[in-house]
Amino acid sequence: MIIIPDVHGRSFWKKPVEDNLGKEHIIFLGDYIDPYEYEGIAPWEALLQFEEIVELKKENPDNITLLLGNHDIHYLTEMGRGQRFDCIRADRIKSFIMENADLFQLIYTAENKGKKFLYSHAGILSGWMCNNKKYLDNATPDTIGGVLNDMWADRSRWPVLFNILSDVPRSRWGDAFFGSPIWSDAEDMRIDDPELAGYYQVFGHTQQEYDPEINAYFACLDCRRAFRLSEKDNTFTSIP
C-alpha cells in the first residue's frame, strides 16, 4: 500500500505513484486543493494537479483509491467551510467533484497480516459516531465505512451527510466536542478511543512539521511525503 497524505497542490506524490502504479495499491487521503500561500503554490496549479490525480484514477480504477477531505467537501456545502477556500474557482471545483463523484469515497478499510486498517482523511472518533448514531444507522466500527460511503454514493442523502461532516472540533476552532472524519484533529484522537474497536486508523489532516505521528493506535501521516505500508510487517516507511 502506498499512502499519499494531504496534497494541497504539492507534487511529492508524483514519483511514488509513477514508480508503484500497477505494483501496489495507492490511496490518497484527501485535501487535493487549497494550497498554503507560504509554499508558493498557486490555487490554479493545485486544481490542475487535482484534475491529473482524478485522471489517473479513471485510467487505473482498481489500483487507486481517492478519499475526500474537508478542503474538498467544503466546495459542495457552506457548512464547515474551511480556510483558503478558492472563491475564484469554486464553481469549477464543485462541478468537477460532482461530475466525478463516483470516483471518490470517504472511508477505506483493509486487512493485512491479521491487522485491520481504517483509512480516512482525519480519523473517526467513537464519540462522533455515538453523537450521530441516528444518522449513521447505529453504525459500528465494522460498518461505519460502508455507511458513510453509501451516504456519499446517494446524493439524496448529501444534506444529512454534509451536516454531520461539518462537525468542527474545538481543537480546530469549531464548537463540536467531537470532530467528524474530515475535521477531527490528532489531538482529539489521543483523547477519544483511538483503537476504534480493533481498527488501526491511518489519516492525514493534522499537519506535522517534520515527522509523522505513528503510535500503537493510529498513524497521522500529513507531513508532505508519501508512505509505504509494508505487506510483511505492517510498518510505515517514508518515501522521499
Grid cell for residue 147: 455507511
| pLDDT for 174 | 87
Q: Which residue has the higher pLDDT, 83 or 155?
A: 155
pLDDT at 222 over 70: yes
- Minimum mean pLDDT among 3-7, 69-73, 77-81, 103-107: which range? 77-81
pLDDT at res. 194 = 65
Domains of the chain from N-terminus onward: 2-239 (3.60.21.10)
3-state percent breakdown (helix, strand, coil) of the chain, nearest 5: 35, 20, 50
| DSSP string of 188-232, one letter each residue | HHHHS-TTTTTEEEEE--S--SSS-EE-SSEEE--SSSEEEE-TT
pTM above 0.85, yes or no: yes
What confidence category does residue 119 fall into, taking pLDDT thresholds of 50, 70 and 90?
Answer: very high
Comparing 193 with 76, the larger pLDDT belongs to 76
174: nearest Cα among 236, 82, 86, 89: 82
At residue 193, does pLDDT exceed 70? no
Q: What is the pLDDT of residues 73-86, one digit of tens each?
A: 999 998 877 779 99
Mean of the pLDDT values across residues 4-26? 97
The predicted structure's pLDDT at residue 238: 95
What is the predicted pLDDT for the residue at 197?
A: 81
At 235 the pLDDT is 94
Quick one: pLDDT at residue 24?
95
Of 234, 200, 225, the residue nearest 14 (C-alpha): 225
Mean pLDDT of the 202-221 span: 94
CA distance 132 to 187: 20
Task: Tell me the residue type at 115.
Answer: K
Residue 14: enclosing H or E segment and its boundaries?
A: helix 14-20
**Mean pLDDT of all residues in 97-107:** 98
The β-bridge relationship of strands 213-214 and 108-112 is unpaired
Please answer whether residues 174 and 184 qualify as being in contact, where contact means their C-beta atoms are separated by less than 8 angstroms: no
Q: What is the mean pLDDT of the chain?
A: 94
With pLDDT > 70 as the criterion, what percentage of the chain qualifies?
98
Average pLDDT over residues 147-170: 96
